[in-house]
């Protein structure tokens, strides 16, 4: 009797362990801007210097096997968090600051020695890819704001929080970000 109790406990523990080790399938995505002006339409979503952008000449990502990628690859977990598809031990997670100070800033943080260093009002949960592929945060779309000509004609992305030109920008435009499944994703570490 003592043996059967121990055996049952061991089998139950093994089954619980196997259940917790389930492999969770994650879909990797790339995305492009739609419905902007002719300069931003179909421009790839990029990640560089802790922000999301369009039309950068080079996003300066360090990619697996030395591959050069000029678009960001990401996934969204079951909690609605968007993670950049990275390699190594330092995940990179997107956040939005919809407060009056942040005005919809769309950025990402890299995990470091002290964890993630998010701004005070940063939100990480609320990302979704709709059936048609539209990427949203909190059910809203995004704005593309042109950078200076010195920046080479690139655009910085912001979450739409009802401010026409956030962060002191000018000539921002509403865009749709359309995500598509990446069947051959390349993992990269994006500049912080």
pLDDT tens per residue across span 152-178? 789 999 999 999 999 999 999 999 999
Q: Has residue 84 been placed in a domain?
A: yes
Q: Report yes or no on 16 lying in a domain.
A: no
Kindly report, residue by residue over 112-127, the tens digit of the pLDDT.
878 888 999 999 999 9
Residue 15 domain-assigned (yes or no):
no
pLDDT, tens digit, 9 for 90 and up, residues 2-22: 444 443 344 444 444 444 455
Strand pairing category for 142-146 and 155-159? antiparallel
Number of domains composing the chain: 1
Q: Report if residue 2 sits inside a domain.
A: no
Structure tokens at 14: 């093994």
Is residue 179 over pLDDT 60? yes
Q: Which domain holds residue 147?
A: 25-189
Cα–Cα distance between 20 and 182 in angstroms, integer? 27
């Amino acid at each position: 009797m003592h043996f059967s109790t121990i055996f049952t406990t061991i089998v139950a523990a093994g089954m619980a362990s196997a259940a917790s080790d389930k492999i969770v399938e994650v879909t990797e995505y790339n995305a492009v801007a739609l419905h902007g002006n002719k300069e931003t339409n179909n421009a790839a979503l990029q990640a560089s210097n802790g922000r999301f952008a369009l039309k950068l000449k080079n996003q300066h990502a360090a990619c697996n096997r030395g591959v050069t990628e000029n678009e960001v690859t990401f996934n969204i977990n079951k909690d609605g968090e968007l993670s950049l598809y990275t390699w190594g031990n330092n995940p990179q997670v997107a956040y939005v600051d919809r407060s009056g100070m942040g005005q919809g800033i769309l950025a990402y943080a890299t995990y470091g020695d002290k964890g993630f260093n998010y701004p005070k009002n940063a939100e990480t949960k609320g990302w979704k890819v709709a059936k048609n592929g539209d990427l949203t945060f909190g059910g809203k779309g995004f704005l593309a704001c042109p950078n200076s000509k010195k920046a080479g004609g690139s655009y910085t992305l912001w979450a739409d929080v009802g401010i026409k030109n956030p962060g002191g920008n000018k000539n921002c435009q509403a865009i749709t970000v359309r995500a598509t499944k990446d069947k051959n994703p390349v993992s990269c570490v994006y500049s912080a």
